[in-house]
Amino acid sequence: MSELVVKNVTKRFGGLTAVNDVSFTVRGGEILGLIGPNGAGKTTLFSCLTGFHRPDGGSVEFEGRDIAGWSPNNICSIGIARTFQVVQILQGMTVLENVQVGAFLRHPGAAAARDKAIKVLDKVGMSKRASVKAVNLTLPEKKRLEVAMCLATDPKVLMLDESMAGLTPTEIQEATGMLRQLRKDGLALIVVEHVMEAIMPISDRIMVLDSGAKIAEGTPGEIAKDERVISAYLGDKYVKRCKV
């Protein structure tokens, strides 16, 4: 099983330390939830792990190599994919064509890439939307399309940045069902989400960031009881509302 080992990663923007000495490990067949208040450094951490930012310190080890500072293309090629908090899809192309772009990474021929894209759309439940222009999708559909684009690259590690934002409770059930299936397939998932009802039940472990630093890591049950996490992020209301 693949393992991503992050050690002491730090990222500064001028005088602001957006990610401060963060270490963790995630393995294939596991969902790691990543939570924390706005500005905690979650998206910046994703960008450090996927080549969009070069960390100022620390290492990112995957399959025996330190990939910190590699380009996004090379990181995607070795099997690490991420979605974006603000969706990055090709608005003028159809759903199928968008997914085909991802599939080209491992299927250079157009027909093979198309076949792969069709399979992936089936997996994420978007087959019926294949010929729709991406610009005409709803925001939750755009987010799902971005997940499909990632899956078309056959990742071993998949990082999702608020992919379930804006979903109805029924749609959250569908989305979490898909994530559970991906975990069963052996992927390692890191899931950033503010919707606690979505992330708490599916995560094997939760890591909490606050002001760039990791303040807690544990099972959802442990995290829900953690005084520091309650005061930094969850709040008393959550604890009363949701018994994990």
Ligand X SMILES: Nc1ncnc2c1ncn2[C@@H]1O[C@H](COP(=O)(O)OP(=O)(O)OP(=O)(O)O)[C@@H](O)[C@H]1O
Q: Shortest Cβ distance from residue 47 to ligand X (Å)?
A: 8
Cα–Cα distances (Å) from 158 to 129, 162, 191, 238, in that order, read: 23, 13, 8, 28
Q: Shortest Cβ distance from residue 118 to ligand X (Å)?
A: 33
Out of 2, 20, 31, 43, point to the residue binding ligand X (CB under 6 A).
43
Q: Which is nearer to Mg ion, 53 or 129 (CB)?
A: 53
Task: By CB under 5 A, tell whether 100 contacts Mg ion.
Answer: no
| Neighbouring residues of 149: CB distance < 8 A, sequence distance ≥ 6 | 89, 98, 99, 101, 102
Question: Helix, strand or coil for residue 9?
Answer: strand
DSSP conformational letter for 41: S
Out of 2, 9, 30, 42, point to the residue binding ligand X (CB under 6 A).
42
Out of 85, 94, 127, 211, point to the residue binding Mg ion (CB under 5 A).
85
Out of 41, 51, 155, 220, point to the residue binding ligand X (CB under 6 A).
41
User: Which H, E and C letters describe 74-124, residue by residue?
Assistant: HHHHCCEEECCCCCCCCCCCEHHHHHHHHHCCCCCCHHHHHHHHHHHHHHC
- 79 contact, one of ligand X, Mg ion, none, CB 5-8 Å limit per kind: none
Q: Shortest Cβ distance from residue 59 to ligand X (Å)?
A: 20
Cα–Cα distances (Å) from 169 to 163, 189, 198, 203, 221, in that order, read: 14, 21, 9, 17, 21
Q: Which is nearer to Mg ion, 93 or 213 (CB)?
A: 213
Considering only the stretches 19-27, 37-45, 142-150, 226-234, report the one whose residues sit in contact with Mg ion under the rule CB under 5 A. 37-45
Count of CA atoms in the C-beta half-sphere (13 A) of 58: 22
C-alpha to C-alpha distance for 135 and 145, rounded to whole angstroms: 11
Contact predicate 62/139, CB 8 Å: no
Residues in contact with ligand X, total (CB under 6 A)? 12
Task: By CB under 6 A, tell whether 50 contacts ligand X.
Answer: no
Residues in contact with Mg ion, total (CB under 5 A)? 3
Considering only the stretches 33-41, 73-81, 96-104, 146-154, report the one whose residues sit in contact with ligand X under the rule CB under 6 A. 33-41
- Name the site residues for Mg ion (rule: CB under 5 A): 42-43, 85
- Name the site residues for ligand X (rule: CB under 6 A): 13, 16, 18, 36, 38-44, 85
